[in-house]
Amino acid sequence: MTVGGNTAVANRMANAGRRLSQHFPYAFSQCLAEVTNTSTEDTAHTLSIPFADTLTTMSAAIESSDRNNIHEERFQYTDQWTITTKKSHILQSKCVSPFICDKTKDTVNGLSSEAAVDLDRVCMCCRYEYLLSMPHMPDMTYANNWLIVDHKTGFSLRFNCLDALRVVSKELPRHLKVDAADDWMKSRADSQYTRFTAKPFDWTFTTDYKGSAVSVADGTDVATDGSAGVEFAPTDERINIERLKRKDDILFYDDVDLFEDELADHGVAKCSVKIRVMKQSFFILMRFFLRIDNVLVRMNDTRLYHEVGTDFILREYTNREAFVKDLHIPAPVLIDPVQLANH
C-alpha cells in the first residue's frame, strides 16, 4: 500500500508451487522449509507513510482498562503510532435482546432507509447474523476482539473478527470432505437425500483477510476510495528477517484470537493476529490455520513490518496448503502450526 504516492515499486510474484521462501520471526516460528505438493500464493505490498518516524519521542507505558467485559491495552509507540488491543468473551449463540432485535428484523430485512441505524441497535449476535448470513458462526467467535494500529496522520490498520468472516465463501469448498465422509456416504448410498446440502457455505471458514486500512475518523476504507492518498503498491522488497531474529527487547506484545472452530471434532479452523513491538520496529502476523484431520492443512499468513526511520509499512501475504497424505510428518506436528511451518 502507498500513502501519498512517494514510493515507486515494481510488482513481484514469487515462484508458485514448490518454492517456499517466506519466514516467521523467532517469536512465532522458525523459517519455512520447502513442502512438496502444495498450493502457494506469495505477494508483497508497501504502505508508504507521509514522513518517517523517529525515536526522539520514547514509547510510553502500557495502559490497561476493563470496561463492559472488554479488556483493553493501549501502547503509544514513538510519536506516530497508537497500538490498541481489545479482548472479550465469545459471541453469544442466541439473541440477548429479542424485544429490540425482533422489532428491527422487518426493517433490516426489508432494506428500509433506516436499516443501518436499526442494525446498530441490535445485539451483536443478530448483527453478525444479518451481516454474514452464515448457517452458523464458528464455535468461538470473538466479536469484540480487535487489534488497532493508528497513525497520527489519520489512517489506521485494523484487524477484527467480522471483517475476517466477511470474506468466507458462500459456496461449499470443492473436493474437501472430513475423513469420515466417505464411510458415511457409503452407508447411505441408497438415499436420494445424501448428495444435497441445505444452505451451502465454506464450512472450513477459510479467509484471506489481510486486515483493513481505514480512516481513524469514520472507519471508511481509505485504500479503496483513495482518501489520504493511500493505495496498495506491489513491491520487490521483503521483510528484514535477520533483524527480526535478533533478541531485541520487546516493548509490547499481544496475541488476539478472532475466531476458532473445531469442525465438529474433525480438525480446527483458527484465525488470530499477533503484534510484537521493539525499539526499532513493529511486526504483525495474522494467520488463518486450517487442519482437517487426516485430509488437509492450510495456512494463510499476512505479515506487516515497519522499521522506525522508514516511510513505509511492508506487507507480505502467503497462502499454503497440502494434503496430509503427501506430507509424511509426525501426527503431533500437524496440530501445531508453529511446528508445521518447519516442515
pLDDT per residue as tens digits for the range 194-230: 444 456 778 899 999 999 888 877 777 766 555 555 6
Q: How many residues belong to the chain?
A: 343
Residue 64 CB neighbours (<10 A)? 10
- The cell for 169 is 465463501
Containing structural domain, residue 235: 15-91+137-189+199-340
Percent helix, strand and coil across the chain, each to the nearest 5: 20, 35, 45
Residue 106 belongs to a domain: no
Return the pLDDT at 28. 29
- The cell for 298 is 492450510
Q: Which of 251, 231, 243 is nearest to 6 (CA)?
A: 231
Return the pLDDT at 245. 83
Q: Which of 313, 283, 315 is nearest to 302 (CA)?
A: 315
Rg from Cα positions in the chain: 22
Reduced to 3 states, what is the DSSP secondary structure of residue 117? helix
Residue 124 belongs to a domain: no
Residue 152 belongs to a domain: yes
User: What are the backbone angles phi and psi of residue 11, rounded to the nearest 5°?
Assistant: -75, 140
Residue 129 belongs to a domain: no
Low-confidence ranges of the chain (pLDDT < 50): 1-38, 108, 111-117, 180-181, 183-189, 191-197
Return the pLDDT at 55. 59
Return the pLDDT at 49. 60
Domain count of the chain? 1
Residue 278 belongs to a domain: yes
Contact 62, 74 (CB under 8 A): yes
Return the pLDDT at 109. 52
Q: Which of 315, 310, 313 is nearest to 55 (CA)?
A: 310
Residue 128 belongs to a domain: no
Residue 131 belongs to a domain: no
Residue 113 belongs to a domain: no
